[in-house]
């Protein structure tokens, strides 16, 4: 029996605090809530997800490289604050052939000016933002079609 295609779901700094961190912006769903819903959705789509979170930039870069090494179908990446500051993550996305889908709970373009620049977005194939936790579900639907 063939293995299911794997999609990495990578989450950056402070996302471990979802549910309590500025719920008026990010909602009340925890990262575990999102992971459970995505796992159910992945089953329906016939893919497997590998869901991870780190507050460390280097971990995200290593995991992007790992996605390439294991032949992942796609990566959903919510780089959080690193979206607007990390050229290293931008370069890691450009260095791999695995398509990366940028994900955001809020809509960065309607927030502070420094959030209007997305180094992740400059390298990603698609972006889903501003739909709360649903942004992840929309991104997974798209990634499953790659």
Residues annotated as part of the active site: 26, 104
Q: What is the DSSP letter of 16?
A: G
Of 119, 120, 118, which Cα lies nearest the Cα of 108?
A: 118
In which order are the strands placed within the sheet that holds 74-78?
47-53, 5-11, 74-78, 100-104, 126-129
What is the rounded CA–CA span in Å between residue 99 and residue 13?
A: 21
């Amino acid at each position: 029996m063939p293995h299911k295609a794997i999609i990495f779901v990578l989450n950056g700094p402070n996302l471990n605090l979802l549910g309590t961190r500025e719920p008026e912006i990010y909602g009340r769903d925890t990262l575990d809530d999102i992971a459970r819903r995505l796992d159910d959705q992945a089953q329906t789509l016939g893919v497997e997800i590998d869901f991870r979170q780190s507050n460390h930039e280097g971990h995200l870069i290593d995991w992007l490289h790992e996605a390439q090494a294991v032949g992942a179908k796609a990566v959903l990446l919510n780089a959080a604050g690193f979206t607007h500051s990390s050229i290293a993550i931008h370069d890691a996305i450009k260095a791999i052939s695995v398509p990366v889908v940028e994900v955001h709970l809020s809509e960065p373009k309607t927030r502070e000016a420094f959030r209007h620049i997305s180094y992740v977005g400059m390298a990603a194939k698609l972006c889903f933002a501003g739909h709360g936790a649903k942004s992840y579900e929309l991104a997974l639907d798209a990634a499953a079609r790659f």
